[in-house]
Amino acid sequence: MRISAFSTRIIGVANVVVVTVAVIGLILLPGDDHPPARTKTVAKVQGSTEPPSPSPVGEPPGVVATPDFARQVHANEGGLVPVLMYHRIVAKRLASIDRTPGQLRKELEKLAKQGYVPITAREFATGDIRVPAGKFPVVLTFDDGHPSHFALDESGNPKPGTAVGVIQEVARKYPSFRPVATFWINREPFGLTDGQAQATAVKWLVDHGYEVANHTWGHPNLRVLGKKKVREQIVRIERLLKKVGAPPSKTMALPFGSMPRSKKVARTGSWDGTRYDFAGVFLAGAEPSLSPYAKKFDRGAIQRIQSNGKKGECRKWCSQYWLEWLNKHPRERYVSDGDPARISIPEKLRGNIVAKRGLQIIAY
């Protein structure tokens, strides 16, 4: 089963509408200041028939992929990747896009058991996918820099029940589950207004492999703004990120998933002497993303999937549906060869990969 272009357009438009309505409702709420597991395969590693020795979390074994090796692990690095979209993580859901810590924990544990390994949006968009052989990348993304995403306790550790607290907890339980995610922030990251507190939070996240990047200054609908105002919204966050010690953003998420009238301005531009140039611009949801190595991959409009169940508008759009779909269609899913220097795909899919990567391709 293939996802048709027509279905993509219909589902994408519908899901943006759903997310927009939900986020607007969230902004209007009182007190809110912001908008199947794979069978184990014995892998040949550099000529050995023994399984690879354990390696640090997030660092795949030292594999040099070959056609035989790629065939063993069913590698398909031209396959689909789930980029999951989260908003608030709260004990009591007040909007349809809210998730509770328990729901987040359940979904992440399910991903860990099924062989998914998190990477950041930056790593995905730039094609720097370092996932062990036979495993599947997943991108965890959190919009708006909400206080429920990250906070430190008195000991300097992530508070339990926050998004980072849950991610770290799941990673301790499942050592192969790399504890990283992307947080796209607005003008008050994690609800913090003090500059030093903002810098402390960002430093902890960056030092631990998390990505903190651009979600615009005031979370406006970019579709209704002129080019200059769009650039200003983006640059003001870039300046804040620099001030608090984060590296320049290589990714950004569109508020409400709403693309500016000029698509190019969302990805590259300048305002008041400051430039930005993103490797990836992310939408609000709808379906899994194409591989960043695919010819049809559009880094200016990367698909995401809203984290949610299968009720109502989510029956065919959100994470439960799509993760089940990928399990039922394993040949459609991105499967790593464990070798970041090569792109391994079944021979019949060779034509789907961009030509400039031809020397790196292993087709079997």
Domain containing residue 354:
59-77+337-364
How far out from the chain centre does Cα 106 lie?
18
Tell me: do 208 and 349 sit in the same domain: no
Helix/strand/coil for 285: coil
Tell me: do 286 and 350 sit in the same domain: no
Pairing verdict, β 268-271 and 274-277: antiparallel
Residue 42 lies in a domain: no
Can you give the CATH number for the domain in which 281 is found? 3.20.20.370
Tell me: do 91 and 193 sit in the same domain: yes
What is the total residue count of the chain?
364
Classify the phi-psi angles of 170: left when phi > 0, otherwise alpha if psi is within -120 to 50, otherwise beta: alpha
CA angle (219 as vertex; 297, 255 as ends), nearest 5: 25
Per-residue pLDDT tens digits of the chain, which is 364 residues long: 444 443 444 444 444 444 544 444 444 343 443 433 333 333 333 333 333 333 344 455 578 999 999 999 999 999 999 999 999 999 999 999 999 999 999 999 999 999 999 999 999 999 999 999 999 999 999 999 999 999 999 999 999 999 999 999 999 999 999 999 999 999 999 999 999 999 999 999 999 999 999 999 999 999 999 999 999 999 999 999 999 999 999 999 999 999 999 999 999 999 999 999 999 999 998 899 999 999 999 999 999 999 999 999 899 999 999 999 999 999 999 999 999 999 999 999 999 999 788 779 999 9
Tell me: do 124 and 189 sit in the same domain: yes
Tell me: do 104 and 248 sit in the same domain: yes
Tell me: do 73 and 85 sit in the same domain: no
Kind plus residue range of the DSSP H or E element containing 323: helix 319-328
Residue 330 lies in a domain: no
Residue 211 lies in a domain: yes
Tell me: do 318 and 219 sit in the same domain: yes
Domain count along the chain:
2
Cβ–Cβ contacts within 10 Å for residue 351, how many? Answer: 11
| Count helices and strands in the chain by DSSP H and E runs | 9, 12
Tell me: do 72 and 135 sit in the same domain: no
What are the tokens at 153?
């306790």
Cβ–Cβ contacts within 10 Å for residue 66, how many? Answer: 18
Phi/psi at 245 (5° precision): 95, 15
Residue 296 lies in a domain: yes
Residue 37 lies in a domain: no
Tell me: do 125 and 270 sit in the same domain: yes
Residue 40 lies in a domain: no
Say how many Å lie between the first and final Cα of the chain, rounded. 21
* Reported pTM: 0.86
